[in-house]
Structures are given as C-alpha cells and as structure tokens.
C-alpha cells in the first residue's frame, strides 16, 4: 500500500465532527505529491503542473495548488470562472477544451490563459473570439495505436481529440499569418497508467514533432505539454507510479531529442489530475443496512451520485472498515448505495471482515474524478467535502446539497421559487 493512508482514528474523529457521507481530503498528502512531482521535473527550469480542474473542482483544493506554484487546466466556461475566482490568471491557466463553444475562447483570452487548440477549425474561432495571442498550444492526435515497444498504450485512432500531423502544419501556418510567434504542443494518449515508459515515449513523440514543426514553420517551440494520464494504484497490490524514474526518462528524451538539436529552451507542462489527488481522498460512509437474499448486501448512506466510477466503469476502489481491518476478511459482500439502479454498487463479491450496522466504511482513492463526476439521479443529493488540514483539523470545504439546490433550476416557474422560500 502507498503510504498515503490515514489511520482509522482520523476517520473516527472526522465522523465525530461531520455527519456522513463525505469525501475527506488530506492536505498533507496533496502537498507532498505536488512537491514530489516538482522535484522529479526540477531539471527543467520552466516546468509547471496545471492541475486538471475536473478531477477535484473545489476552491480550497485549487487554492492549495496555487500556493505551491501549480496552474490549472480548464475545459469549460465554468471551470475558467472557477479558476478566476481562485486567483488564477494569465499563463497559470491552460484552456484545453474540445468541442468547445467558440464563445468560450473569449473568456480564456480575457483571462490571458494559454489556449490549447483541439481542432483546425479552432484557429478561426479563436481569431474571432478574443484574437490570436503570441503563444498558442496545439493538441496532436497521431492516430492508430500508441505503442511503447510491443505494448499498446492507447488508441488515439479511436479518440475524438486533437489534430492530425498534417493539420498541425496547416494550423501553424494559419496562426503565423495571424501574428502568432511561439507554439506549444500537447497530446494525451493513455489514461490511468503507472507504466514508467508512457511519459518518456509521449515526450519523445512530441519533441520530435515539435522540432519538425519549428523547422517547417520558422516559429519557436516554447513548451511541450505532456497532459494527464499518470495513474494511481487503485488495487492494494498494484505498483505506484515511479515519478522520479518518469522524470528521469523524460529528461533523457529531452536531451536526445531537443538539447542535441539545439532546442535546449523548451519548457515542460503537465495537466495531471488523478495522480495529484486521487490517493488523498476517501469517501467516508456508514453502513446503514444489511440485507441477505441470494447475496449478502451492505447498504451505505452514500450512492453512485457521490462516486460514479464503480457504477460507470466497474472501477475498483479499495474498501476498509474502521476498527476491523485486523479481523479475517471472510465475508463476501456487495457494497451498495440506494439508487434504483442495480449498478449502484461500490464493490461486488468483495471479501470484508464481519461488520455491523453503524460501522464506518471507507472507500479509498476518491480524491480525483470522485464527487466531480457525481450526479442527482433519483433526487439523490451529493455529499459534502471535508479537508483534513496540515495541522490536524477538519474543515468543511463544500456543504452537502439540499433539496433547494435540486430545485434551483425550476425557478422558471414562480410556484417553485415560492417552494424554495418555504
Ligand atoms: C482529463 C484530462 C486531464 C487529467 O487527466 P488525469 O487522468 O486525471 O491525469 C488532463 N488534460 C486533459 C485535456 C484532460 O481531458
């Protein structure tokens, strides 16, 4: 197990202060991971991480990233507004959106954000919505399979993102016409991978392509954006990403593909989400029901509305029971929420210790793509978020939703407005 775990007494103390369910986030762990990433790429003077907002779009967390020098990666108008409200501006914002409403470029430009174009048609849309800045980033999709050695790491040919190699050349020549001087290059070709070869192989591809594009366009390659994709060990025995080894692998690629060709001034960017926060969050719940029919079910006070990944992808999230982990894990159970959907299961056929109603059940690695993917099916209201601060206190950083929030969009009808006032 990675050493990010919190002791049982922390969950007990948090539950004494706040009613479950809630996602608990560990400030110390998030800061430690940010420091580790920065150190692993410390050899590149311009290196910067742009935390992917969608992974954990909560101001208290975003401000924490600002304190440690990270930027934000935004993909929508609302995420840009959130970044702005949290004090980010200029090149501390990367706008990496796809299928983007053209008008959203205008806000990105107003904030001075770096704009990452996903498609050739975005060149004109950017020009018409805020104008073409001196630096623009382009998103590359090499098509086919993305292979490292014999292993297929991703399927860009099936992905909706980015431009073909020929479109990159065309985009640069158009942007040059419009006064752009420097460019960045971006690609995201594999998701949730702890493979130490992913970033170095992606970097090599982007370095080579960036070199070619600089030569043919006469423009300056300013940065390479390795995007997100580094994974975390959701399974207890899975390996952690060796971030120092990954940083070193990228450094070797940089020397061989850039420095050796006289491109020693290119800065590196990342847009990691999962790697930064997933292991530092826990959906903290109580067991509220136990049911034995053809299978043995443990019913929680949380549902897929608070954490969708298991229902949506069958994703594994480790589960522990506070105070019972030393006992034999000899009960085979399904751990379920209350939705009228049979996929509302946090675990299927999981071996857990014997439990009782009222036990605290902790679902691990919920710090990224957790609450932010949540929804309101069945009129279920999303839970609160609590930060476990560096000095050992618990701070409420997002309250739970209320029926009033659920009804808020019905204010098109005055009768509903009135109901909200009652
Ligand atoms: C989702 C996303 C990320 C973050 O991905 P992780 O898997 O959380 O690291 C980064 N950049 C873009 C453009 C994304 O869509």
Q: Is the CB of 95 under 6 A from ligand 1?
A: no
Task: Mark out the alpha helices in 59-154 (DSSP H runs).
Answer: 59-67, 77-85, 104-110, 122-128
Q: Is 79 in the pocket of ligand 1 (CB under 6 A)?
A: no
Kindly indicate the confidence band of residue 416, based on its pLDDT and cuts at 50, 70 and 90: confident
Share of the chain above pLDDT 70, in %: 98
> Which residue lies with its CA nearest to atom 3 of ligand 1?
228
For residue 133 the two structure tokens come to: 């800045």
**274: Cβ below 6 Å to ligand 1?**
yes
Distance (Å) of CA 135 to CA 117, 165, 167, 191: 11, 19, 18, 27
What would the mean pLDDT of 316-323 be, rounded to a whole number? 98
Maximal CA-CA distance, the chain: 70
Q: What is the pLDDT of residue 3?
A: 55
β-sheet bridge partners, residue 351: 332
Do the domains 27-278 and 280-407 sit in the same CATH topology, yes or no? Answer: no
Q: Please report the pLDDT score of residue 418 as a whole number.
A: 72
> If you average pLDDT over residues 63-79, what whole number do you get?
98
Asked if pLDDT for residue 420 goes beyond 80, the answer is no
Q: What is the pLDDT of residues 108-132, one digit of tens each?
A: 999 999 999 999 999 999 999 999 9
| Both tokens assigned to 369 | 């793509």
Q: What is the pLDDT of residue 321?
A: 98
* Mean pLDDT computed over 60-77: 98
Position in ligand 1 atom list of the atom nearest CA 274: 8
pLDDT score recorded for residue 422: 61
Q: For residue 2, what pLDDT is reported?
A: 46
- pLDDT at residue 4 is higher than 80: no
Nearest CA to ligand 1 atom 13: 96
Find the 166 Cα to ligand 1 centroid distance in Å. 24
pLDDT at 326: 96
Element (H, E) at 348: strand 345-352
Q: Is the pLDDT of residue 1 over 60?
A: no
Q: Average of pLDDT values for 41-67?
A: 98
Q: Is any ligand 1 atom within 6 A of the Cβ of residue 231?
A: no
pLDDT band of 233, cuts 50, 70, 90: very high
Q: What is the mean pLDDT of residues 363-371?
A: 98
Q: Using the structure block, give the residue that is written with the tokens 């049911």.
A: 291
CATH 3.20.20.10, applies to 27-278: yes
Question: 107 pLDDT exceeds 70?
Answer: yes
Task: Give the nearest ligand 1 atom to 139 CA.
Answer: 13
Q: Residue 76 above 50 pLDDT?
A: yes
Q: DSSP labels for 287-322?
A: EEEEEESSSEEEEES--TTT--HHHHH-----EEET
323 Rama sector, left if φ>0, alpha if ψ -120 to 50, beta otherwise: left
**Residue 413: its pLDDT value, please?**
87
Q: Is 62 helix (H, G, I), strand (E, B) or coil?
A: helix
Q: Is the pLDDT of residue 38 over 50?
A: yes
Instruction: Kindly tell me if the per-residue pLDDT of 280 is higher than 50.
Output: yes
Query: Is a pLDDT exceeding 70 seen at residue 221?
Result: yes
* 5/335: higher pLDDT: 335
Digit-coded pLDDT (tens) for 176-197: 999 999 999 999 999 999 999 9
Backbone phi, then psi, for 287, in 5-degree steps? -75, 120
Please report, for the chain, the start and end positions of each structural domain, with discontinuous segments joined by +. 27-278, 280-407
**Which of ligand 1's atoms lies nearest the C-alpha of 273?**
8
Tell me which residue has its CA closest to atom 9 in ligand 1.
Answer: 228
**164 Cα to the center of ligand 1, angstroms:** 20
Which of 273, 278, 276, 283 shows the shortest CA–CA distance to 346?
283
Question: For domain 280-407, is the CATH number 3.60.10.10?
Answer: no
Identify the three-state secondary structure at position 396: strand
**Residue 287 CA to ligand 1 centre (angstroms):** 33
pTM of the model: 0.97
């Amino acid at each position: 197990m990675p050493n990010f775990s919190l002791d049982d007494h922390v969950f007990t103390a948090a539950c004494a202060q706040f009613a479950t369910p809630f996602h608990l986030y560990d400030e110390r762990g998030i800061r430690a991971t940010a420091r580790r990433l920065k150190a692993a790429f410390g050899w590149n003077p311009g290196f910067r991480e742009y935390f992917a907002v969608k992974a954990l779009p909560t101001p208290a967390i975003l401000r924490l990233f600002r304190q440690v020098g990270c930027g934000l990666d935004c993909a929508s108008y609302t995420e840009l507004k959130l970044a702005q409200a949290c004090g980010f501006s200029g090149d501390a914002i990367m706008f990496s959106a796809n299928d983007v409403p053209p008008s959203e470029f205008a806000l990105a430009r107003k904030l001075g954000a770096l704009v990452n174009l996903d498609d050739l048609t975005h060149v004109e849309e950017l020009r018409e919505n805020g104008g073409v800045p001196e630096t623009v980033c382009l998103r590359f999709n090499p098509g086919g399979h993305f292979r490292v050695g014999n292993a297929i790491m991703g399927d860009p040919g099936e992905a909706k993102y980015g431009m073909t190699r020929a479109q990159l050349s065309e985009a640069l020549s158009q942007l040059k016409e419009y006064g752009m001087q420097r460019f960045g290059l971006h690609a995201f070709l594999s998701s949730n991978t702890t493979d130490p070869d992913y970033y170095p192989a992606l970097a090599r591809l982007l370095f080579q392509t960036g070199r070619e594009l600089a030569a043919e366009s006469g423009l300056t390659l300013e940065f390479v954006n390795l995007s997100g994709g580094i994974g975390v060990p959701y399974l207890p025995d899975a390996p952690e990403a060796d971030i120092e080894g990954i940083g070193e692998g990228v450094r070797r690629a940089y020397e061989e593909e850039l420095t050796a060709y006289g491109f020693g001034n290119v800065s590196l960017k990342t847009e990691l989400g999962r790697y930064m926060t997933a292991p530092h969050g826990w959906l903290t719940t109580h067991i509220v029901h136990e049911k034995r029919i053809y299978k043995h079910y443990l019913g929680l006070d949380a549902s897929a509305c608070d954490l969708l990944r298991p229902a949506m992808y069958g994703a594994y999230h480790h589960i522990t029971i506070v105070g019972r982990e030393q006992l034999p894990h000899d009960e085979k159970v399904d751990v379920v929420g209350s939705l009228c959907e049979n996929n509302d299961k946090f675990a299927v056929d999981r071996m857990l210790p014997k439990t009782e109603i009222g036990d605290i059940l902790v679902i691990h690695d919920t710090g990224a793509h957790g609450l932010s993917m949540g929804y309101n099916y069945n009129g279920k209201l999303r839970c609160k978020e609590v930060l476990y601060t560096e000095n050992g206190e618990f701070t409420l950083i997002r309250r739970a939703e209320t029926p009033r929030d659920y009804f808020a969009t019905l204010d098109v009808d005055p009768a509903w407005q009135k109901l909200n006032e009652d």
